[in-house]
């Protein structure tokens, strides 16, 4: 990213400093191009499961990657006020903590989007698993990744029907939402806006294991020259190992 590319985002008090190591330098060092693989879908659709399997597959191929998970990110970067409270106090927590209102979810995805850019710029294959229900928020991240940073963005829609997601409901969230205990719950009291033109759609199918879906995403990365066909398995072994 250059100061010119930031356009109207430039603040005269804030100057962009070009580093001595370019994105291309890091790409050559790692033998891969950094990118963002953005998994989106309803809660319980299988996003995190597939993303975790893909993360392990990439490790076994010797390809550096990192997974940002929607639940995990809510413990730190995008923590809720209740999680921040014991460490930072009430005033700070109310000011910077994020809930699940449409406005807070927008800021949640904005923060995550900026982090994905940093990771992809460092040459990592950055995987994300977020409900990210609003199309405009996902599209904004895509623009930042592609236009401002000249990196690849792959939107992967895990298209699992609401009734299937609700039947899984491992955390009982859908039940609580139906009971009116959780406001702004995607699919129940708040909409999910499906992608219009994702790079890949993973359809719910009991005949397909999550490993099959992860393999499809891996093939997409190979065909897009993010991961080379000649990548070899490392000594990390099978996914059953710790």
Structural domain boundaries in the chain: 23-223
**pLDDT exceeds 60 at position 239:** no
Predicted TM-score (pTM) of this structure: 0.89
Of 97, 73, 99, nearest to 85 by C-alpha is 97
The reported pLDDT for the residue numbered 241 is: 42
DSSP, res 148: I
- Is 20 an annotated catalytic residue? no
pLDDT one-digit tens code per residue, 78-117: 999 999 999 999 999 999 999 999 999 999 999 999 999 9
The reported pLDDT for the residue numbered 240 is: 41
List the catalytic residue out of 33, 43, 93, 132: 132
Mean pLDDT of 199-210: 84
The reported pLDDT for the residue numbered 17 is: 84
The reported pLDDT for the residue numbered 231 is: 58
**pLDDT exceeds 60 at position 1:** no
203 pairs with which residues across the strands?
159
Mean pLDDT of the chain: 90
The reported pLDDT for the residue numbered 126 is: 98
Mean pLDDT of 122-147: 97
The reported pLDDT for the residue numbered 8 is: 54
Of 66, 65, 63, 87, nearest to 75 by C-alpha is 87
The reported pLDDT for the residue numbered 206 is: 58
The reported pLDDT for the residue numbered 4 is: 44
148 in Cβ contact with 1 (< 8 Å): yes
Which pLDDT band, with edges at 50, 70 and 90, does 238 fall under? Answer: very low
Which pLDDT band, with edges at 50, 70 and 90, does 217 fall under? Answer: very high
Span of 118-122, 224-228, 236-240 with lowest mean pLDDT: 236-240
Which pLDDT band, with edges at 50, 70 and 90, does 2 fall under? Answer: very low
The reported pLDDT for the residue numbered 175 is: 95
The reported pLDDT for the residue numbered 16 is: 80
Measured CA to CA, the distance from residue 154 to residue 35 in angstroms comes to 8
The reported pLDDT for the residue numbered 234 is: 59
Which pLDDT band, with edges at 50, 70 and 90, does 62 fall under? Answer: very high
In CATH, the architecture of 23-223 is 3-Layer(aba) Sandwich (3.40)
The residue among 236 and 103 whose pLDDT is bigger is 103
């Amino acid at each position: 990213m250059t100061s010119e590319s930031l356009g109207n985002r430039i603040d005269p008090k804030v100057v962009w400093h070009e580093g001595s190591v370019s994105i291309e330098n890091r790409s050559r060092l790692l033998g891969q191009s950094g990118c963002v693989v953005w998994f989106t879908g309803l809660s319980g659709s299988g996003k995190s499961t597939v993303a975790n399997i893909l993360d392990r597959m990439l490790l076994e191929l010797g390809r550096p990657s990192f997974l940002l998970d929607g639940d995990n990110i809510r413990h730190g970067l995008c923590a809720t006020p209740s999680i921040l409270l014991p460490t930072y106090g009430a005033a700070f927590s109310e000011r910077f903590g994020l809930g699940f209102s449409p406005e807070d979810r927008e800021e949640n995805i904005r923060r995550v989007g900026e982090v994905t850019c940093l990771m992809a710029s460092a040459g990592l294959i950055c995987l994300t698993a977020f409900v990210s229900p609003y199309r405009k928020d996902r599209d904004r991240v895509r623009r930042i990744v592609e236009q401002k940073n000249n990196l690849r963005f792959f939107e992967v829609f895990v298209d699992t029907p609401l009734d299937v997601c609700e039947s899984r409901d491992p955390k009982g969230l859908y039940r609580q939402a139906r009971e009116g205990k959780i406001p702004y719950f995607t699919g129940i009291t708040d909409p999910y806006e499906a992608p219009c033109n994702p790079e890949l759609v993973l359809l719910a199918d009991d005949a397909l294991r999550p490993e099959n879906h992860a393999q499809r995403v891996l093939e997409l990365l190979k065909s897009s020259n993010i991961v080379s066909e000649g990548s070899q398995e490392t000594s990390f072994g099978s996914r059953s190992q710790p």
